[in-house]
A and B are shown apart, each in its own frame.
Chain A
Amino acid sequence: MSFIAKPKVAHPSLPRNALGLTRRDYEGGMSTLCAGCGHDSVTAAIVEAIWEMSIRPEQLVKLSGIGCSSKTTAYFDSGGHGFNSVHGRMPSIATGAISANRDLHYVGVSGDGDTLSIGFGQFAHAIRRNLNMLYIIENNGVYGLTKGQFSASADIGTKAKRGEENRQPPVDPVLTALTLGGSFIARSFSGDKEQLVPLIMAGLRHRGFALIDVLSPCVTFNDHQGSTKSYSFIRENYDAVVHADFIAPAQEITASYAAGEAMSVAMHDGSRILLRKLDPSYDPTDRTRAYAYLRSRLAQGEYVTGLIHIDESSPDFHEVSGSSTTPMNQLPYARLSPGSEGLKKILNRYR
């Protein structure tokens, strides 16, 4: 971690977005994570994405649970709304917030411990309900905040810093989400912002639950030989199946790729994701084949990255539950609260 504040000074020709803001305007407090933590790079990628999308800082809601990952929401978009919830309970808080106001962008940042252990149930139901949020797992395979125990995503055979070997099979959040019917499932690497930034942008635009499992090495407890989530291991065993370019509605699509190598996915708001397929046979809209592909590469010890699956057709939480299209803070009090008479009427319906 750093002990001096990042100076307010900025590059004199730092570009500005449509709102006239620079990247620096989307930063948060100074990170207290270990120097070199992958999570800080994810933070930088989020800053880059929300700046580029010209999201007004106060339009973003940052949600998290407990853990190193969950601290990162403090490090971006200091002008946004934020809620650090209880360990593993971030999806519940997100559900409530999303129910109350569908006009905001929701980013949940969680870790492999927060999501796959204590929060596994909540995670599963958030996917099942297709909550309209971007859910980022900063996945480092280790409980860094409690000094390096294996987490639920640690691979069999991976070694802890002191040499113990993990024997428990891991939970793979991407395979889990595919099984549960997730509508936007991606995996990326904190050290590959070229891939990660467009994925975050697309995830924010996706109507429904967008999961990005980001391999984010723990430089203190899980960046050694024998770890399968170290910087060097990930770089050596990296299988990018697609590279995404996010295209906002206002932008002309200028990139062109040879037929069969690129795929354009239209999103409901008019934006697009242009997928340059590094593996020409890969089809991210086919859930079953995506699952099979992942399993086959996993057997080779490879991390498949990119946009693994997308389905823009499945109804999101608002559609299914018929939630209010007007944010609750804009509803008149009389509509929000039925009053004692109204309550009586409702209760009478059940008598």
Chain B
Amino acid sequence: MQPTDIRDPGHFHRVVDCQWACPAHTDVPEYIRLIAQGKFTEAYLVNRESNVFPGILGRVCDRPCEPACRRSRVEAEPVAICRLKRVAADHRDDVRPYLPSVPAQKNGKRIACIGAGPASLTVANDLMPLGYEVTIFEKWGTPGGLMRTNIPAFRLPEGVLDEEIGYILDMGVDLRLGSPVTSMERLLAGGEFDAVFVGSGAPKGKDLDLPGRRGPKEVQDHIHIGIDWLESVAFEHVKSIGQRVLIIGVGNTAMDCCRTSLRLGASEVKVMARKPRGFFKASDWELEDAEEENVEIIVNHAPKAFVVEAGRLAGMLFDRMEYDLDADGRILAERVLGEEMIPCDDVILAIGQENAFPWIEDGLGIEFDKWHVPKVDPVTFQSSLPQVFFGGDAAFGPKNIIWAVEHGHQAAISLHKYCQGLPVADRPPPMVTLSSRKMGLHEWSYKNDYNPLERRTMPHVALKERFKKVDIEVELGFTAEQVEIEVQRCMNCDIQTVFDARLCIECDACIDICPMDCLTMTTNAPEEELRSKLKAPALNLDQPLFVSSPLQHTGRVMVKDEDVCVHCSLCAERCPTAAWDMQKSKIQIPYASDEIPPSCLTHKTRKTA
């Protein structure tokens, strides 16, 4: 193998698995370390740099970081990253003095954002400090998009939403509520804006056109589209539901629907899944929370018909399914075992959602594919009409909030470049800086002891209490004692083991001390061969190998398998020549503000690292 180029930010970025997995590349280890030091405000600000809604996402993020967490490869459970994000948000002081300030002198460019969801709000957050005038058009009477309409208040309180959305709107965003854009053509023809960002989400819930669906109004009134129904609950248009409710689908929307049903008075809620549990789309923690509330999840039932008796919805008919699975859990064959009618008063369909653009006219130059999804550049988010950009669910279909935020950041860079007449595809590169964490002979400026304790579990409001009102937040947040333990479970993956082959005397000390058998000195070979002959074979191909240049005594190479390194620093402590050093890698992810010389920016920063 060629020696690893440690000047390439990609190498160290991949090693910080949580940050690598996060669509917005949030600097997770840094904010967890700040929480450990009691610096909640600083932790919040580190978070907010990439993830503009730490309080919101600390409650409802889909957490792609957690399955990636290295801790889960060393023991069973990852660090409760998302819960810790909430800790920083809950305990921060006033962050307003440290937020980017907006220049009084505008740059003369005007941006229209369609939909006041997370993608548009992120665009506004990034562009307002650069002097842009941003107008957001929102069809509802409140901003937030699906964060407000689709996520029930018992998971995400209104106050948290208002505060974090407020930080952005208070920069002077021209928010036009109750103003749906009904014609892209008119918006463009008006000439009011230099560029348009479409962040209108995927607002159309999928229907299930089965026998009985198109029945009389009496039946129609008891069959609901999940996201529309949640929206109606959020805006208090719906305040009750029948006693027996069936939810069709097992995604996160289904979990919100079943739990909301319980709060609106349902006593018997069943979630109906077509396939076995391994195929559920809902996150584990959302399934757990629903089951804790005594929601019954019934597997292997494929919906067949709505049963209408005497002009009323009586229940749903299902095919009872059986599946043959292979060793990897894939379906080899399926059989129908029979039918089953499950009686109910209401059905909520939560089988997916899609984007819909009835308001974008043909012939404008905005191309759509055969599913009527706009053709959007996956890097620049530019559509085929150069001044129109898409982001969030509107661009590539339903994902999650943190993806929408990242789309917003990337689109903001593109919008800025477009408005300044610069090539949009010319993206600023990520950078990495490394700085030693060594303080004394045996002292490191981070806590490197491996903490063997298990993941803390989130305390919840007692079951009896939580159904009294629809907006009682169920999760209470970690206690101080829980925080103290959970922060120390983070393995500081951003503190890298940096090796200098020129200093190595090949004494084996690092290899002997490594508790995880991550290090090997051996003759160089192609990657596949090298992976097999390490002290512990490197089987996780997602984790890079570090390969040094040839060592001076024997010409062998030092190989480090990053897979299960716990960053305990023992290799660096044992090294007599400091060939190993623990160095913090700071991955600098470019934002629109990086396009402006620092001297032109006025916002204050708090030094955090």
Report the minimum CB–CB distance from A14 to chain B (whole Å): 7
B513 — which chain A residues lie within 8 A by C-beta? 2, 6, 40
Q: Are B576 and A191 in contact (CB under 8 A)?
A: no
Report the minimum CB–CB distance from B520 to chain A (whole Å): 11
Report the minimum CB–CB distance from A325 to chain B (whole Å): 38
Q: Are B515 and A6 in contact (CB under 8 A)?
A: yes
Asked if B505 is at the interface (CB within 8 A of a chain A CB), the reply is yes
Q: Knowing A2-B442, A7-B568 touch, does A223 contact B505 (C-beta < 8 A)?
A: yes
B566 — which chain A residues lie within 8 A by C-beta? 7, 9
Q: Are B575 and A35 in contact (CB under 8 A)?
A: yes
- Measured in the bound complex, the distance between the Cα atoms of B508 and A40 in whole Å is 9
- Measured in the bound complex, the distance between the Cα atoms of B515 and A14 in whole Å is 11
Asked if A232 is at the interface (CB within 8 A of a chain B CB), the reply is yes
Of B450, B505, B515, B517, which contacts A231 at CB under 8 A? B505
Q: Are A34 and B564 in contact (CB under 8 A)?
A: no
A313 — which chain B residues lie within 8 A by C-beta? none
Report the minimum CB–CB distance from B553 to chain A (whole Å): 4
Q: Are B449 and A4 in contact (CB under 8 A)?
A: yes
Q: Are A12 and B554 in contact (CB under 8 A)?
A: no
Q: What does the 1/0 interface line of B38-73 toward A look like (CB < 8 Å)?
A: 000000000000000000000000000000000001
A219 — which chain B residues lie within 8 A by C-beta? 505, 507, 576
- Measured in the bound complex, the distance between the Cα atoms of B573 and A125 in whole Å is 41
A217 — which chain B residues lie within 8 A by C-beta? 507
Q: Knowing A2-B442, A40-B513 touch, does A191 contact B564 (C-beta < 8 A)?
A: no
Q: What does the 1/0 interface line of A234-252 toward B look like (CB < 8 Å)?
A: 0110000000000000000
Nearest opposing residue in chain B for A216, CB measure: B507
Q: What does the 1/0 interface line of B523-538 toward A look like (CB < 8 Å)?
A: 0000000000000110
Of A11, A37, A193, which contacts B509 at CB under 8 A? A37
Of A3, A11, A41, A220, which contacts B508 at CB under 8 A? A41
Asked if A69 is at the interface (CB within 8 A of a chain B CB), the reply is no
* Residue of B509, B554, B564 most packed against chain A (CB within 10 A): B509
Q: Are A4 and B570 in contact (CB under 8 A)?
A: yes
- Measured in the bound complex, the distance between the Cα atoms of B576 and A40 in whole Å is 12
A232 — which chain B residues lie within 8 A by C-beta? 505, 553
Q: Are A2 and B74 in contact (CB under 8 A)?
A: no
Number of A-B contacts (CB under 8 A): 104
Report the minimum CB–CB distance from A255 to chain B (whole Å): 17
Asked if B543 is at the interface (CB within 8 A of a chain A CB), the reply is no
> Which positions 529-574 of chain B face chain A at CB distance < 8 Å?
536-537, 539, 553-554, 564, 566, 568-570, 573-574
Asked if B93 is at the interface (CB within 8 A of a chain A CB), the reply is no
* Residue of B448, B508, B573 most packed against chain A (CB within 10 A): B508
A223 — which chain B residues lie within 8 A by C-beta? 505, 576
Count residues of chain B with CB under 8 A from any CB of chain A: 35
B517 — which chain A residues lie within 8 A by C-beta? 10-11, 14
Report the minimum CB–CB distance from B164 to chain A (whole Å): 37
Asked if B174 is at the interface (CB within 8 A of a chain A CB), the reply is no
- Measured in the bound complex, the distance between the Cα atoms of B517 and A35 in whole Å is 18
A2 — which chain B residues lie within 8 A by C-beta? 442, 513, 570, 573-574
**Chain A interface SS verdict (over half):** loop
Q: Knowing A4-B570, A219-B576, A235-B553 touch, does A36 contact B509 (C-beta < 8 A)?
A: yes
Nearest opposing residue in chain B for A8, CB measure: B452
Asked if A130 is at the interface (CB within 8 A of a chain B CB), the reply is no
Report the minimum CB–CB distance from A282 to chain B (whole Å): 22
Nearest opposing residue in chain B for A235, CB measure: B553
**Chain B interface SS verdict (over half):** loop
Asked if B75 is at the interface (CB within 8 A of a chain A CB), the reply is yes
B322 — which chain A residues lie within 8 A by C-beta? none
Asked if A190 is at the interface (CB within 8 A of a chain B CB), the reply is yes
Q: Are B508 and A12 in contact (CB under 8 A)?
A: no
A191 — which chain B residues lie within 8 A by C-beta? 506-508
B450 — which chain A residues lie within 8 A by C-beta? 7-9
- Measured in the bound complex, the distance between the Cα atoms of B478 and A118 in whole Å is 62
Asked if B516 is at the interface (CB within 8 A of a chain A CB), the reply is yes
A8 — which chain B residues lie within 8 A by C-beta? 450, 452, 515
Of B506, B512, B516, B539, which contacts A10 at CB under 8 A? B516
B511 — which chain A residues lie within 8 A by C-beta? 44
Asked if B577 is at the interface (CB within 8 A of a chain A CB), the reply is yes
Q: Knowing A2-B442, A4-B570 touch, does A36 contact B575 (C-beta < 8 A)?
A: yes
B506 — which chain A residues lie within 8 A by C-beta? 191, 231, 235
Report the minimum CB–CB distance from B510 to chain A (whole Å): 9
Asked if A110 is at the interface (CB within 8 A of a chain B CB), the reply is no
- Measured in the bound complex, the distance between the Cα atoms of B508 and A295 in whole Å is 30
Q: Are A12 and B509 in contact (CB under 8 A)?
A: no
Report the minimum CB–CB distance from A195 to chain B (whole Å): 13
B515 — which chain A residues lie within 8 A by C-beta? 6-10, 24
Q: Are A44 and B508 in contact (CB under 8 A)?
A: yes
> Which positions 1-38 of chain A face chain B at CB distance < 8 Å?
2-14, 24, 34-38
A36 — which chain B residues lie within 8 A by C-beta? 505, 507, 509, 574-577
- Measured in the bound complex, the distance between the Cα atoms of B515 and A236 in whole Å is 30
A40 — which chain B residues lie within 8 A by C-beta? 508-509, 512-513, 574
B576 — which chain A residues lie within 8 A by C-beta? 34-36, 219-220, 223
> Which positions 218-269 of chain B face chain A at CB distance < 8 Å?
none
A sample of 10 inter-chain contacts (CB < 8 A) reads A5-B449, A14-B517, A37-B509, A40-B513, A40-B574, A43-B512, A190-B507, A191-B508, A220-B576, A232-B505
Not counting A10-B517, A41-B509, a sample of 4 additional A-B residue pairs whose C-beta atoms are within 8 angstroms of each other reads A4-B568, A7-B449, A35-B573, A232-B505
Interface residues in chain B, defined as those with a beta carbon under 8 Å from any beta carbon in chain A: 73-75, 442, 448-450, 452, 505-509, 511-513, 515-518, 536-537, 539, 553-554, 564, 566, 568-570, 573-577
Interface residues in chain A, defined as those with a beta carbon under 8 Å from any beta carbon in chain B: 2-14, 24, 34-38, 40-41, 43-44, 190-191, 193, 217, 219-220, 223, 231-232, 235-236
